[in-house]
Structure 1
Amino acid sequence: MKNIINLFMIISLFLLSCETEVKVNIDDANPRLVSESYLNFDSETNMGYASIFLTKSSQYYDESDPSRISNATVTINDNILLFEDPDSAGFYSTDQPIFYNDQLIFKINILAEIDGDAGSWTATDNFIEVPLIDSIYYYYEETSSTFQEEGYYVKIIFNDPPSQENYYCLDVLVDSEDLFTLNPGTKWSSIFQDRYINGQELNFIVNDEPIDIGSEVTVVLSSISEQTYFYYFNLYTLMTETQDIGAAPPFPLNGNLISNVSQLENGLGNFQVRNYSYKSIQILN
């Protein structure tokens, strides 16, 4: 399970709250709080872990490492305290699992200083139940084609819940290493919705390149909100449309971190709650 938790600490996740939209300009010169905030619940154990990374914003094209924010106070639902890693400034996490008790909304509070100014930020997100992955298997593709090389491919099967809109993030780990690429089209890490597949049994390939014999593949299916789905899509669009040095970002990203003090602006990044299901398989000869 440790590898699954690490997955969500590796990938930078962003979410737009279902209730509040905060437009933020990532090219703003004024320093802001930047928060990568994840609360991930295992669908089988109903236990969750929270991990937060706090930094201060910098200029859009500044290639230096962002300044980390230490000595912050971070709580979830006002009563779950996160602790800063003594060996890694700016990283905060829970020291005990969080048990899911049918809560539909989770809230995060962050108290921190930005250049000497004390600030307070709040964000909320909804819990969305994920369907379980029913099975995982692999097959060998013997013939290469324009879209697929010869080799081993992994498939999963799960049933999309009917009569509701669902949005998913699919992540693939090979030998415990995440192969994340920010691209809505890659099968190593992808986002998708059920607009045209609502209520159907889904059986599809999770890798777009063959996997070596002996490798262990872990597939993680997570529920995400509609806003998260479009945040990922907009983030990818932003990255692909601002390749030239000096080009202005084509649009602001949206976040859900609300500033509670007038002297500091709303934060960048988002607080996100995920419910995930996962299965693993080893490719054998």
Structure 2
Amino acid sequence: MNTYIKTILLFTFLVLTSCEDVIEIELQSVPPKLVIEASLDWEKNTLGNEQMIRLSTSTPYFDTATNTFVTGASVKVINNSNNTEFIFEDQNNGDYLTSDFVPIINQSYTLEIIYNGEYYSATETLIPVVDISGITQSRNRGFDEEVLEVNVNFNDPVEKGNYYLFRYWEDGDLLVRLDGLKDEFTNGNPFSWYFEKIEDEDNGVEEFVSGDLVFIDFFGISKGYYNYINVLTQQTGGVSLFGTIPVPLKGNCINLDNPDNDAYGYFRLTQVIRSAYTFQ
């Protein structure tokens, strides 16, 4: 009997192991595209003269080792009213810096990049942001009435068509939370926007507790960037700006020499208020 059982077990093992096939996933290979991270953020009540633009190239989905930063490109931003040029100097690590940018509210600017003999361009307007009237905490506005949440309060201007971006992260977080907002139903009125964290053990997310420090960036943004960030946050679940997304997301950076080779990323100019809040 023991010999019979051993024979059956051995046969079963051989059948199971022989059914193991190596499945090779063949991913579509596409040429790398230029990725432009050009967020010129002017912190309110500062000069805003120091700005950075980062260039890299896209990589295959599973490639985490390839060095993707771009050097040797020509990068400049132009004031479209007086044609003043601001040259961004190559730092040989993918970063391009300037220390003489002059931010002007509601002024239109054009980004010009020459890379690999091709000319990329994008145009945006520097959008102002309203003052924050107060930052408070509560427990009764979110999905869970037992969870602490932070509230950013402000007065929306009477002018129609205002768009905002909130960026939140707790001290020590690796990823940020992004929320876009338009004043379609709040135009000209006081408004409060909240942020909470629901505990998620699987992803290591813990709800806010007393003593936690949360950082808040509050931006005024254009309608075009609002639409872009809205799609991006839907695809990434609202976290991180540069996580992997299911499909390529087209920004406003156009390749004027080769329309089939447009860049990824977005050229934006915003005014921002940076704040922090400690939960009581």
Q: What TM-score do you get using the length of structure 2 for normalisation?
A: 0.70
Matched, 1:93 2:97: yes
Pick from 89, 109, 114: which aligns with 1:111?
114
Report what 1:220 is aligned to.
217
Report what 1:274 is aligned to.
270
Q: How does 1:196-275 map to 2 (within 5 A)?
A: 196-209=185-198, 210-238=207-235, 253-262=249-258, 265-275=261-271
* Cα distance change on mapping 1:111 and 1:216 into 2, 3 Å: same
Q: How does 1:143-154 map to 2 (within 5 A)?
A: 147-148=143-144, 150-154=146-150
Pick from 72, 80, 88: which aligns with 1:82?
88
Identity of aligned residues (%): 23
Alpha-carbon distance, 1:62 to partner: 4.6
Who wins on radius of gyration, i.e. which is larger?
A: 2
* Cα distance change on mapping 1:176 and 1:107 into 2, 3 Å: farther
In 2, distance between residues paired with 1:263 and 1:276? Answer: 33
2:147, 2:196 within 8 Å by CA — same for their partners in 1? no
Matched residue type, 2:124: D
In 1, distance between residues paired with 2:49 and 2:145? Answer: 38
1:74, 1:110 within 8 Å by CA — same for their partners in 2? yes
Residues matched between the structures, number = 231
Deviation string for 1:1-43 (max 9, x for gaps)? xxxxxxxxxxxxxxxxxxxxxxxxxx88243322111100112
Matched residue type, 1:167: Y
Higher RCO by CA contacts (8 Å cutoff, separation 6 or greater) = 1
Report what 2:58 is aligned to.
57
Give RMSD over aligned pairs: 3.0
Q: How does 1:10-89 map to 2 (within 5 A)?
A: 29-59=30-60, 61-64=61-64, 65=66, 67-77=68-78, 79-86=85-92, 89=93
In 2, distance between residues paired with 1:230 and 1:146? Answer: 24
* Cα distance change on mapping 1:66 and 1:108 into 2, 3 Å: same
**Structure 2 counterpart SS, 1:230:** helix
1:39, 1:49 within 8 Å by CA — same for their partners in 2? no
- Whose helix proportion is higher, 1 or 2? 2
**Structure 2 counterpart SS, 1:111:** strand
Matched, 1:168 2:167: no
Matched residue type, 1:267: A
In 1, distance between residues paired with 2:175 and 2:68? Answer: 26
**Structure 1 counterpart SS, 2:144:** coil
In 1, distance between residues paired with 2:261 and 2:121? Answer: 12
Matched residue type, 2:97: S
Alpha-carbon distance, 1:234 to partner: 2.5
In 2, distance between residues paired with 1:66 and 1:232? Answer: 26
Where does the alignment leave 5 or more consecutive residues of structure 2 unmatched? 1-27, 79-83, 199-206, 238-245
In 1, distance between residues paired with 2:86 and 2:172? Answer: 29
* Cα distance change on mapping 1:282 and 1:162 into 2, 3 Å: same
